[in-house]
Amino acid sequence: MTHPSPVTAADGLITEITTQAARPLEQAIALPPSAYTDEGFHAVERERVFRSGWLCVAHVSEVPEVGSFLALDLVDEPLVVVRGRDQAIRVLSRVCPHRSMDIMPGDSAFPRPGEARLFSCPYHAWTYELDGSLRGCPHMEQAADFNRADWPMPLVRSDIWNGFVFVNLDGSAAPVSQHYGDLDDLLAPWRIPEMQIAISMDWECDFNWKVMIENWMESYHHIGAHRDTLNRIMPGQNTWIEPEHPYYIHAHLPYTDDLKEQTRATIARGERVPGFMAIPGLSEEQQTEWGLHVGYPFFMFLTMPDRLLWYRLLPLSAGKCRLQTMTLVSRDTMQSPDLPAMLEAETPLLRDFHLEDMMVNTGVQKGLMSRLARGRGRLSHLEEPVWLIQRYLAARLAGRLPEKAARRPYYGPKAAE
């Protein structure tokens, strides 16, 4: 018996995903297991979904000064995000144009911050300016017609939106503001470019990137995985989503009525709500809910009344990714004398609720690897984001841009009549 080639197997899967994504939500089912485990299919995703989209690599506060850099590996590309002498933030490939050495070898398990005046390749000591131009290359005077200006470190297309640095590896995407710009007004009060990372945690993840974003976006699992934590303050059945957008999902996670009332009373008394310093200028709704977002393909962020959570995801293979869970806070919070106490109170809570997600995500991937996994399980209406992710994926796998659906969400305040 011959085995199907990876390309053929991926083709069959793409056809199945396309058919599946065309079902209405009432008929929606989970993806087949191989969509999360097959390396051939993952290679197609890397090409059609990751390389053609905008991938978030940094927050501007991670490269605050001239020469600050962050080295990271993304979709097999060794990259460095760096602030140049002109204050511009660039993303350069770390592949030396001489003989392809990674100019910053070493443990790149997680992004590595640093400071540099120049970049120097450890192989033959060619040196580069912070903008990537070649500055020094010893003993090259006998190489005929060799011109230093022709040998810079490759510049990767990048863009900045709301304080986040994105790369587009194939150079084909429209400006990042055309993808996520509809969120600008909503996000304005958080003043994200001025925020600072107060808490950062690294996670080695034995699961597919879609297991992560599906778990991130659906709140159905509050009833199980977060039964004793999140579900007490924001039960999954109260969550609802905005109308379908081609480039992102925005879900609202309102507090329980009791907690809303309590929060409003605290604010009315002029007292501080527990947590970090409140973000000024929020609407009453924003003061009593979390705003959950995924910018496709995997830019995950969550607005809260006192902070912004951001998950930096680096996919490694079909079954593995790395994740950094970051908490960004306002300058007021960073300068507050109460900051150490706030960090001490908030850090364990963040770790605990993420551990609950790590447990289920790892368990899901283990299940998906089993030969007994059926996959294709029926979805609840509360899993509408899972189905929206399928619709996005199907469009990108077919080489199409996603479209804005001419319909309302299936449930919640903005649902179809």
For the CB of residue 36, give the shortest distance to ligand FES in the complex, in Å.
37
Choices 55-63, 292-300, 305-313, 350-358; region in contact with Fe ion by CB under 5 A? 350-358
Query: Residue 272 binds which entry of ligand FES, Fe ion, none, with Cβ cut-offs from 5 to 8 Å by kind?
Result: none
Q: Tell me how crowded residue 261 is: count the other CB atoms within 10 A of its CB.
A: 12
**Nearer Cβ to ligand FES (137/364):** 137
* DSSP H or E stretch at residue 40: helix 39-45
Report the C-alpha gap between 293 and 382 in whole angstroms.
Answer: 15
To the nearest whole angstrom, how small is the minimum distance from the Cβ of residue 241 to Fe ion? 16
96 binds, among ligand FES, Fe ion, none (CB under 5 to 8 A by kind): ligand FES
> To the nearest whole angstrom, how small is the minimum distance from the Cβ of residue 183 to Fe ion?
22
Nearer to ligand FES, 101 or 415 (CB): 101
Give the closest residue to 147 by CA, choosing from 92, 86, 104, 97.
97
List C-alpha distances in Å: 396 to 224, 312, 391, 404.
32, 21, 9, 14
> What's the rounded Cα separation, in Å, for the pair 307 and 290?
10
- The answer to whether residue 357 forms part of the interface with Fe ion (CB under 5 A) is yes
State in angstroms the smallest separation of the CB of 155 from ligand FES. Answer: 17
What is the number of other CB atoms lying within 10 angstroms of the CB of residue 86? Answer: 9
Nearer to ligand FES by Cβ, of 128 and 276: the residue is: 128
The single residue among 11, 47, 123, 273 that binds ligand FES, judged by CB under 6 A, is: 123
Q: Is residue 386 within 8 Å of residue 30, measured between CB atoms?
A: yes
Residue from 41, 69, 126, 209 that binds ligand FES (CB under 6 A)?
A: 126
The two three-digit tokens of residue 415, written as one number: 């649902």
* Interface with ligand FES: number of residues (CB under 6 A): 8
> Stretches 8-16, 94-102, 245-253, 317-325: which one binds ligand FES (CB under 6 A)?
94-102
Using the contact rule CB under 6 A, the part of the chain among 92-100, 108-116, 318-326, 338-346 near ligand FES is 92-100
Pick the stretch among 96-104, 148-156, 263-271, 396-404 that binds ligand FES (CB under 6 A). 96-104
Stretch that binds ligand FES, among 68-76, 123-131, 290-298, 335-343 (CB under 6 A): 123-131
- C-beta closer to ligand FES: residue 117 or 232: 117
Alpha helices in 336-397 (DSSP H): 339-369, 384-397
Tell the smallest beta-carbon distance from residue 95 to ligand FES (Å). Answer: 9
Cis omega before residue 297 (within 30°)? Answer: yes
101 binds, among ligand FES, Fe ion, none (CB under 5 to 8 A by kind): ligand FES
Distance CA 217, CA 290 (A): 12
Q: Does 124 bind ligand FES (CB under 6 A)?
A: yes
Task: Name the token pair of 131.
Answer: 């903008």
Buried b (16+ CB within 10 A) or exposed e, 29-53: ebbbbbbbbbebbbebbbebbbbbb
Q: What are the angstrom distances between the C-alpha of 407 and each of 223, 244, 307, 403?
A: 28, 8, 32, 11
Given the rule CB under 6 A, which of 60-68, 74-82, 97-105, 399-407 is the region that contacts ligand FES?
Answer: 97-105
168, amino acid identity: N
Verify binding: residue 96, ligand FES, rule CB under 6 A: yes
Look at residues 32, 25, 18 and name the one whose alpha carbon lies nearest to residue 379.
25
Q: Which residues bind ligand FES (CB under 6 A)?
A: 96, 98-99, 101, 121, 123-124, 126
Residues in contact with Fe ion by CB under 5 A are 357
